Amino acid sequence: MEWTLDELVRRVAAALAGPAYPGAPNGRVRDVPDRRAVRWYTTIGLVDRPASGGRTARYGPRHLLQVVAVKRLQAQGRTLAEIQATLTGATDATLRAAAHVPPELLDAGESPAASVRARFWADRAAGPPAGEPDTVSGPVIDLCAVSLPGGITLLVPGRLHAHDIPAVHAAARPLLDLLAERLAVHGQPSDRR
Do residue 96 and residue 64 come from a single domain?
yes
- 136 is a domain residue: no
Domain that holds residue 52: 5-122
Question: Is 161 found in the same domain as 71?
Answer: no
Of the candidates 38, 90, 87, the one whose C-alpha atom is nearest the C-alpha of residue 67 is 38
Does a structural domain hold residue 86? Answer: yes
Q: Which residue, 103, 110, 138, is CA-closest to 48?
A: 110
Q: pTM for the complete prediction?
A: 0.55
Inside any domain, residue 129 = no
Is 53 a member of any domain? yes
In a domain, 128, yes or no: no
Average pLDDT of the chain, as a whole number: 76
| Strand-pair category, 143-148 with 56-58 | unpaired
Domain tally for the chain? 2
Residue 188 within a domain: no
User: What's the pLDDT tens digit per position in 61-118?
Assistant: 999 999 999 998 988 888 889 999 889 888 999 999 999 998 889 875 443 334 444 4
- Asked whether the CA dihedral 99, 102, 105, 107 is positive or negative, the reply is positive
